[in-house]
């Protein structure tokens, strides 16, 4: 049985915890504001104009 | 299962792109929900989009001056990926839905893969590294870094962002030039290919699929195989639209957990599970 099979339960929980930790670190560094600022303006590159 | 999946795909696409005012007036949603990302490839310049695109968010963070680890985008990838893996591609991605609908058009003999699939399937990792990561950090347009994947490749942005916005806004329409037609060409090419080949963008080009594929081995949602009941009829392999073998189903980075193998199994020895 592979490492992933044996530790599947632990690994996905670790992944979720890592995700939560990364989100908290992102919030601490103000990265959500960067995402929001980009997301609320029409992205000219995305629509092939910029 | 097939109808359930289509219903979930349609519902999720409508809910995450439900800002009707935007479609009617050529505007985009500017509320607080855009602090967060949706799990699938969903252009945030779509007039209906109520949240941000995870690949767009990653590029926005990499586009800043200097370098900071893009924790917020990584957080969404780890959270969604650890829970669902590429189930997101199969059930929740709007551009996946478009490709599925095109593949249903009853013309051409359908193919699961392109020739040289074993080489081409690595294309999505090349796109992730070269366009999304390196391109967004080092490619400049004037003095500003550009979101290279969105700018040069993303067909979701053209379909859900450009076409509705350009349709509603005369000023934007007058600015459309070579870049727009390049992206329109990519969209049309992928659309035509989708009629014949199963999800060509997801299999060969999508950087989000490349990321979520890494989580497939251990994500919470899995397709479980009860080996004791299996009679090795290979019905699941024949039904798999990605042409995966029984042992690759669910674990392979190519599996989008569409559930066709689950439907096809006469012994019911394949089933979705969420117990980890």
Which range of residues forms the domain containing residue A11?
Answer: 3-39
pLDDT at A3: 67
- Among candidates B52, B147, B180 on the partner chain, residue whose Cβ is nearest the Cβ of A49: B180
- Residue ranges of the domains in chain B? 2-215, 222-273
If you ran DSSP here, which 8-state letter would residue B37 be given?
Answer: B
Question: B275 contacts in A (CB within 8 Å)?
Answer: 9
Helix axes A31-39, B54-62, angle to 10 degrees: 110
Give the confidence band of A1 by pLDDT, cuts at 50, 70, 90.
low
Q: What is the 3-state secondary structure (H, E, C) of B64-132?
A: CCCCCCCHHHHHHHHHHHHHHCCHHHHHCCHHHHHHHHHHCCCCCCCECCCCCHHHHCCHHHHHHHHHH
Nearest residue of B to residue A7, measured between CA atoms = B218
- Among candidates A4, A20, A46 on the partner chain, residue whose Cβ is nearest the Cβ of B45: A46
Query: Complex ipTM, two decimals?
Result: 0.91
Structural domain total, chain A: 1
pLDDT in tens, B186-211: 999 999 999 999 999 999 999 999 99
pLDDT in tens, B232-264: 999 999 999 999 999 889 889 999 999 999 999
**Across the interface, do B71 and A25 touch by the CB < 8 Å criterion?**
yes
- Architecture of the structural domain at B222-273: 2-Layer Sandwich (3.30)
Strand partners, B145: B140
- The pTM of the full predicted model, rounded to 2 decimals, is 0.93
- Among candidates A8, A13, A31 on the partner chain, residue whose Cβ is nearest the Cβ of B61: A31
Domain assignment present for A48 = no
pLDDT at A8: 66
Domain assignment present for A9 = yes
Give the confidence band of B20 by pLDDT, cuts at 50, 70, 90.
very high
**Across the interface, do A45 and B150 touch by the CB < 8 Å criterion?**
yes
């Amino acid at each position: 049985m592979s490492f992933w099979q044996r530790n599947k339960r632990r690994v996905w929980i670790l992944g979720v915890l890592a995700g939560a930790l990364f989100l908290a670190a992102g919030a601490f560094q103000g990265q959500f504001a960067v995402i929001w600022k980009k997301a609320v303006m029409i992205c000219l590159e995305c629509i092939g104009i910029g | 299962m097939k109808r359930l999946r289509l219903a979930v795909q349609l519902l999720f696409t409508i809910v995450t792109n439900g800002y009707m005012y935007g479609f009617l007036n050529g505007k985009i949603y500017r509320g607080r929900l855009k602090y967060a990302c949706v799990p699938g490839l969903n252009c945030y310049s779509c007039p209906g989009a109520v949240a941000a695109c995870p690949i767009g968010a990653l590029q926005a963070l990499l586009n800043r001056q200097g370098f900071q680890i893009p924790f917020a985008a990584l957080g969404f990838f780890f959270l969604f990926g650890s829970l669902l893996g590429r189930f997101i591609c199969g059930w929740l991605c709007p551009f996946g839905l478009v490709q599925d609908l095109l593949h249903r058009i009853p013309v051409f003999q359908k193919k699961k893969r392109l020739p040289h699939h074993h080489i081409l399937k690595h294309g999505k990792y090349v796109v992730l590294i070269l366009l999304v990561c390196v391109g967004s950090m080092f490619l400049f347009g004037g003095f500003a870094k550009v979101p290279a994947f969105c700018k040069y490749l993303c067909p979701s942005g053209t379909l859900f962002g450009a076409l509705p916005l350009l349709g509603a806004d005369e000023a934007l329409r007058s600015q459309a030039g070579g870049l727009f037609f390049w992206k329109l060409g990519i969209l049309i090419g992928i659309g035509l290919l989708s009629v014949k080949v199963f999800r060509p963008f997801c299999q060969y080009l999508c950087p989000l699929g490349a990321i979520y594929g890494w989580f497939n081995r251990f994500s919470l949602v899995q397709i479980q195989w009860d080996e004791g009941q299996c009679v090795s009829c290979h019905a699941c392999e024949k039904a798999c639209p990605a042409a995966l073998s029984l042992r690759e189903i669910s674990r392979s980075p190519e599996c989008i957990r569409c559930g066709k193998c689950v439907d096809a199994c006469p012994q019911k020895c394949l089933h979705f599970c969420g117990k980890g």
